[in-house]
Structure 1
Amino acid sequence: MDRGERSLTALGHYQVAELLGAGGMGQVYLAYSPSGRAVAVKVIREDLAARPGFRERFAREVQAARQVSGAFTAPVLDADTTGDVPWMATQYVTGPTLDDAVKERGPFPADEVWQLASGLCEALRDIHRVGLVHRDFKPGNILLAEDGPRVIDFGISRVVDATALTQSGEMMGTPLFMAPEQFRDPREAGSSADVFALGSVLVYAATGHGPFDADTPFAIAWNAVHEEPNLSGLPESLRPVVEPCLRKEPSARPDLEALLALLSSRREGRSQQALTPGAALARTRRKRLRRGVPTLSALVCAALVVGVWLWWPQSERGEANTTRPSATTSPATATSVHFPGWKPWTTQLADGLPDVSPTCRYRSAALWCTEGSTLAARLDPRTGKVLWRRTTNDHIAPVLLGVTQEAVVVGEYLVDAQTDSYRIWTFDAETGNPLREQKIAGAERCVVAVETLFCVQSGAITARDPVDMGHMWTAASGWDLLPLGYGGSFDNVYVVKRAENGRPTQVGEITQGDGTLLWLRDVPQGADLATVSGNYLYATKSSTSGTTVNRLLRIDRRTGAVKSLDLGLPEELLGVVGEVFYTCSDTGVVSAYDISAKRRMWSSTTLQAGLSAPSVDGDRVQFMAQDGTVIALDRRTGGALWQNQPSKRGVRATEFSGPVPGLVSLGDVIIAPAPDLRLRSFLASAASTASPTGGATGSGR
């Protein structure tokens, strides 16, 4: 069967522009949605699609890939698994592959490899959590996007392995990065094979050669199965990570959680360079796309199913600092380990008394903020410098709906005598130049997800391009959008059907491509949804109509199984992180409940009321209080770690006027708004511990 180029002009509602390339599974095309958005479409080989059982497995794997949740997900936009030509459309991401970057600039310094390892390890962990195994993890499947590395092209690896390639005797994977068990029997290769490949990839990134290089695939296979890896040129600091990954026996390799613990405990001094060639190339390609000129991005831009977003600071090109900090490094010097170029700073976002408290989010190596008179502002998180700020003279309550690769999207909900509406502003993310201002009549709620603006408009879900506000599609009539991640950008579009009293009765997820309903689950009667994460819905119940709750619930969206935990006394829900509910009593006692184990983990007296949503970073969980104090507790025990108060400044506001905003935690660097429209950044390890928050009490309810 011919595996070459097909003559295609359209796939679904995507117009095909050009062939980007072809591989063992099919062809990759650059295509455009009706609004002009660039997407990457992978078309499956005809001979594979004709194999018995392939399409069913392909559909299951695409659906599984959609379930990889969290900040490390780059979404599947659309797919057709039953048509004459099976295909899958994904977000088009520009940037070189790790393979191209190493060939162009040579091996990476140890500090960059260390940071790369953390991101790739987290990506594989998220892939494995939904039962997927990549099986072709290699430098060519790692994209160095402008905002960090992304792991791609895994969503159909296992389904191809399970059908044609194993049946026909073809080799699944790339020999240079395959585990020994993949050569013996590909069907036995599990998640530990990806760990082996991770070790091989890190060797390649740090040295420019693989650990089992040879002249022929047979010789490579022999080396991988029988010989010790060639680690010549590998920095000593990377050996504790790489060597355990390359053990011959799968059971002897570390799991990803153990690797993450090792990586987080031994951080290299990070360079300010941050893969400059990849970032520059990505920016060039993005500008070409804006002008409508198709670009031949690496094949990794296609079949993008999951990505890992990783903070990666951008700076002018310079030599990398590969010096490891000594054990006697002072706290002030140690900041470069966690955030190169950072120093404590305070910035006044706006003048005057606040009408609306500042809300900030971190994305793409920048800090994005809004407040009453500030529609949007971009700040350098290292220095607090305001790079650009767009203001309004109106008294409004702007909401940061999201940040895409090209635009910052801000919205305001309007209510007048005739109809509800939403006013949307979009600004160029790089320059702050206004792109569009538009009032969407009849819109009750809007969110940004996966580079798309979604609104509930006149009882239906509509999708728009956030850059030019062009209408893409209308679907899912009778549903409301679930406002997850207030002010943030997320990668799933959840819809909810409500009863007359406003409580949810059903929740589901729709595709970004055309609004097709992917799954649907009933919500227990009388429950209020708190969040949706992966395969679970998290909800609460209350015996009153107030803001407190007395029962916590987790609903498995696949089976409908419910786990619940009664609190006894009503408490205010602060938020859900992972499997843990965080609550606060009216006396300032914060509690953490493990819903999986159906028990209270701990309670801690904070002496503060009106806390923000939790922010979890490593073993810390942090909250903002009404007066701007940041409180940090031990995530495992609830013990008080430290607190930090903003300085008092005369007659300025001393408490937030509305809901307490959240803080931004970047490792050991904290960025927190103050009630008087200041933003401040301080080092967690250097925070004061005055006025202790009180003791913590464990419980085994």
Structure 2
Amino acid sequence: MGLHGGDPQTVGGYRLLDRLGAGGMGTVYLGRGTESGRLVAVKVVHQQFADDREFRIRFRQEVAAARRVSGAFTTPVVDADPDAERPWMATLYTPGRTLGAVVREDGPLAGPALRQLAVGLVEALRDMHRVGVVHRDLKPENVLLTEEGPRVIDFGISRAADQQTLTVTGRILGTPPYMSPEQLSAPHRVKAASDVFSLGAVLVYATTGHGPFDAASHYLTAYNVVHEPAAVAELSGTVREIVQWCLAKDPVDRPTPDELLGAFRSAPEGDWGARVAAEAAVAPEPPHSRPTRRGLLLAGSAALAGAGALGSWRAGWWDTGARTAGSASRGGGHPVRPLTVSEGTAGLQPAGWSLWRKQVGEQDRHVQTCRASASVLICASSAATGQLAAFDTKTGRRLWGRDARGALELLGLSASGRLVCYRESDDSPAALGRIIAVRAADGRQVWSTPPESVEMIANAVMTSGVIAAVGGISGLTAWHAETGKRLWELPILGGTSRLYAARGHIHHLGDAPDAAEQLLRKLAVDNGRVVKSRRPGSLRPVAFGADTALFRRPDGSIALAAWDEEPVSTSLPDTMVYTESGGHFFGLDPDGTVIAADGPTGRRRWVARTQATSVWDPALGGSLHVAGGRVYVPNPDGSVHCFAAGDGALLWKSAPRPAGDRGPQLSRPGFDVHGGTVYLLTGGRLEAVRPAEAAARG
């Protein structure tokens, strides 16, 4: 960064070389000891806080706490003067970027990097808690990623457990998305378990690029922390359950660092990373939660007063007033945040919820299939001449475009969100096809299969970071989406084949060995092992659940079947297109009816209407999205309906696009949901909306 004109040249016995960063409380410099030559990070408090007696007391506590902590995953204090005209503290300098910077610039972590982060942070907390120090502000900007592993920095609001807590009327210390419920409602009772809650929130951010309680304002974020379940559906398997354990509302329900170390070290390798957005479903309750679930009782008035009174943000502090927040409840006592209705709009649209709107340029007028990550929205066409276009999710700015040699099928984003994977078929007489992966950031090709590897591709799917395709030469072949490495092959007979991706498995429907009828096989995604198989006869798969599937009979009626049982008829309409999420089935009818069915039995759970004058033809796909306990349905008029997946209650609906803003019409919507943000492409207009009610749950 370079030193600024007003920066000091030396502090204590250190010559300042460069600025490393600046925050609300002070500036951090790179310094070198004038005698030792040792490089240090020197934190110098801003003058306005140096004149604040209360702040000096807190800074003195920070220095004392930091001196007590010594471990492989923290930065040791080498010198300090809390009584100087401008208090300062020097820690050993370790090159690296903060976790926040890494995720913003490079995307979320996955695999060994994510595991190393989790284990390192737990060990850092264990070192702190053993000497009686509670950090109280663990967040992505206070985690430094170095070549030697993660380092926890900035003990700015930490305190030793045996020191007296500062009592400041109307102020709460911390950073909203990563604070524990007790830190918001009763800060004087904060103990080591609060850091464990923050750790869980940090790991959600590291895995997905967003926090588990993100909302449009600090107040709404705090409300979500105290009252709402964490948005962890994008995490995988065992790691998701461990993180849910950390995010228990009641501190006594959370694990200790020692328990966490054992849990993280035993988590399967494949669970470290985010699931593909389309597969992120309602996460199950953590098995570690205690039956009392006292965290649910935090919806009481005392917690509301603590979280609802949050006001302006300043220097890492909140100045709070005397306001309290009310809440409404719906079915089963689950709180529903009241929404502000905009004047002149219909229904439940919250005011000021649109992030951005962009008219799609002429070069992208055919794109209509969308997939989103935390940073990039990818849209693709399915015309004879395929086309990809990438847009910045924060602004809608077009980042790059790429043309295919022929037809193009967008398969999705890799588990890390860094690669865009698609199938391309050229226009040669042989109709050769190949799988291509390009960087989401700039569209540059990373890997591709040779054209002859999959001839006349019939079908390709992507799930759990693996791409599988059916072709005429190699049969069924699978590749690792990140590296392009061929993982396994499965010989199959000729004839019609169809692949389906569901719940981390690949389902293949093709001819049985005796060619008498078709065979449906459920395959393990990592090695192609046949998990289960059955002969469906005249049935055709519609949607797959955990242990059951919906099938369509020759007469069009819907049947439900477990793998080892005969199909049974259900009362589900045959006009719907169904998808599976969270162990249940959801369908959309052309007349706008939305239905939810129980996964094990096929019985209807609820029925709702979009209340739109017309809906997309669901047979074209892309018209129903279920994630984070929400069901999203886009409409041709540019509006979106959002229902609660549990009971079908209408949570919100957006207003249609203004009259006259029509643009070219598409045969189906460009539509995806990521991290609570809804991306919708209708009538030539691309829009991102993040309703406050849904901001923490996409």
Q: Report the TM-score when normalising by structure 2.
A: 0.49
Question: Highest Rg: 1 or 2?
Answer: 2
